[in-house]
């Protein structure tokens, strides 16, 4: 009694020899292959044309195909059936024990190769079952490949030495590099921008060679030379013994996201009208400057500036003109500060604050204050209008007038009111000793 595992299956046999067909039926029966309802699992046709018609009408689970038929012979027979049933496994039957023909049949799309008269029922059953398993695996691989090819993110597979073996179309769209141009080369050879130092890549390799997933952001270069921001995840792929065999990299172009993030950050820290740093950014820079001055036992100055007679401009000429005037004031103030480390900020309305970081001496603030007063005294041409204004400045110096952010801001503001009381268009230090303009 056969010990073969029972399996329900439909088999299309394309064979013109009735004697061979009888042997095939016997082997199928002994192999324990059955059809639904215990019907004969074998459907038989003697020609390729009838086989094509039968396969089209009722898709079989597997095809046993003779390579020598009345209307077709050789590899063309396999190719013809493969076009009709691309996802059905084909087992080739032939009367010749020809290994070259066997290999050619496999390359043409057959799943297996059997020589008639030289196999037992267990060989046929095993061949059919293995063909079904291989076909399912191949179908899954095709599905996975289709999914990878349709992915929006770039996907790259490399060997353990980072040589590229495969990349999807999104990789080409992102980098401008075709698969043919990338295969055999490392991502560093085709994408490296020079923006990351050696230590960056050393940390990356240390992580993935330890079998861990690495994720991060970097700047890469396209084929046309342009650079882009990329979010990258690299996952090691190991064999059954835990040895790394491949790396899979998922790549996403985040250039637009980075631009948006930078814009949002900029808007959060800059005045929308003048594009000067706002109160939040000023406070941050002032805190850093105070910490630096404390470490270096240095000096810095904070100037609180308020425009004189700005309200009449808004009241008589309108807020649009007032806004244009504030923009011009911002430009003139920026031209008066001596160093890139200095900050001109707008707190709101017609109030501005100037941070002079890393001064050599407190008297340096007097020079800048004089430049500011002179610059703002020159008339402003706003459309058809020529507008004359001035400013009142209050100055607080670290550490004499305060050793923290809030104290310096408060004392500079107080000094500005002293300048207003002194007649405007002048500056005053906190706790000023004289009342003369510029004193």
- SS3 (DSSP) at 250: strand
Q: Give the sign of the dihedral formed by CA 24, CA 28, CA 34, CA 37.
A: positive
The owner of tokens 């060679």 is 209
How far apart, in whole angstroms, are the C-alpha atoms of residue 361 and residue 371? 17
How far apart, in whole angstroms, are the C-alpha atoms of residue 376 and residue 367? 15
- Which of the following is catalytic: 66, 271, 342, 350? 350
DSSP letters of 304-338?
Answer: EEEEET-HHHHHHH-HHHHHHHHHHHHHHHHHH--
- SS3 (DSSP) at 194: coil
Of 339, 342, 340, 333, residue with least CA distance to 371: 333
First to last CA, the chain: 118
Residues 252, 168 contacting (CB under 8 angstroms) = no
How far apart, in whole angstroms, are the C-alpha atoms of residue 395 and residue 303? 5
Residue 110 Cα distances to 88, 92, 201, 364, angstroms: 9, 7, 46, 88
DSSP letters of 28-79?
Answer: HHHTTEE-GGG---EEEESSHHHHHHHHHHS--SEEEEESEETTEETHHHHH
The owner of tokens 């016997």 is 26
The Cα angle at residue 329 between residues 326 and 331, in degrees rounded to 5 = 115
Catalytic-residue membership of 350: yes
Which residues are known to be catalytic? 350
């Amino acid at each position: 009694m056969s010990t073969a595992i029972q399996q329900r299956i439909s088999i299309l046999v394309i064979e013109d020899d009735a004697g061979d067909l009888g042997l095939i039926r016997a082997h199928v029966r002994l192999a324990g292959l059955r059809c639904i309802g215990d019907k004969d699992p074998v459907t038989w046709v003697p020609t390729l044309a009838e086989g094509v018609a039968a396969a089209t009408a009722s898709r079989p689970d597997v095809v046993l195909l003779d390579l020598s038929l009345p209307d077709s012979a050789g590899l063309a027979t396999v190719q013809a059936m493969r076009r009709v049933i691309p996802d059905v496994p084909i087992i080739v039957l032939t009367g010749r024990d020809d290994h070259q023909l066997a290999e050619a049949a496999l390359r043409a799309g057959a799943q297996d190769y059997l020589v008639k008269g030289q196999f037992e029922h267990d060989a046929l059953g095993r061949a059919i079952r293995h063909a079904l398993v291989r076909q399912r695996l191949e179908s899954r691989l095709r599905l996975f490949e289709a999914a990878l090819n349709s992915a929006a993110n770039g996907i790259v597979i490399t060997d353990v030495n980072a040589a590229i073996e495969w990349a999807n179309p999104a990789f080409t769209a992102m980098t401008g590099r075709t698969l043919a141009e990338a295969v055999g080369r490392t991502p560093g050879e085709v994408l490296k921008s020079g923006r990351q130092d050696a230590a960056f890549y050393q940390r990356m390799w240390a992580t993935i060679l330890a079998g861990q997933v690495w994720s991060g952001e970097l700047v890469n270069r396209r084929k046309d030379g342009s650079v882009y921001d990329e979010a990258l995840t690299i996952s090691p792929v190991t064999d059954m013994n835990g040895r790394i065999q491949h790396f899979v990299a998922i790549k996403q172009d985040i250039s637009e996201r980075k631009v948006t993030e930078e814009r949002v950050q900029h808007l959060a820290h800059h005045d929308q009208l003048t594009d000067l740093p706002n109160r939040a950014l000023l406070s941050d820079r002032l805190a850093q400057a105070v910490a630096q001055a404390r470490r270096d036992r240095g000096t810095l100055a904070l100037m609180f500036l308020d425009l004189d007679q700005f309200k009449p401009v808004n009241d008589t000429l309108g807020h649009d003109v007032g806004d244009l005037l504030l923009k011009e004031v911002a430009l003139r103030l920026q031209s008066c500060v001596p160093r890139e480390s200095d900050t001109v900020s707008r707190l709101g309305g017609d109030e501005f604050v100037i941070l002079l970081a890393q001064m050599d001496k407190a008297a340096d603030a007097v020079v800048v204050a004089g430049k500011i007063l002179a610059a703002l005294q020159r008339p402003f041409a706003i459309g058809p209008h020529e507008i004359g204004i001035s400013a009142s400045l209050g100055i607080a110096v670290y550490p004499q007038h305060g050793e923290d952010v809030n104290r310096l801001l408060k004392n500079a503001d107080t000094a500005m009111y002293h300048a207003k009381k002194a007649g405007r268009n002048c500056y005053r230090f906190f706790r000023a000793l004289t009342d003369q303009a510029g004193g």
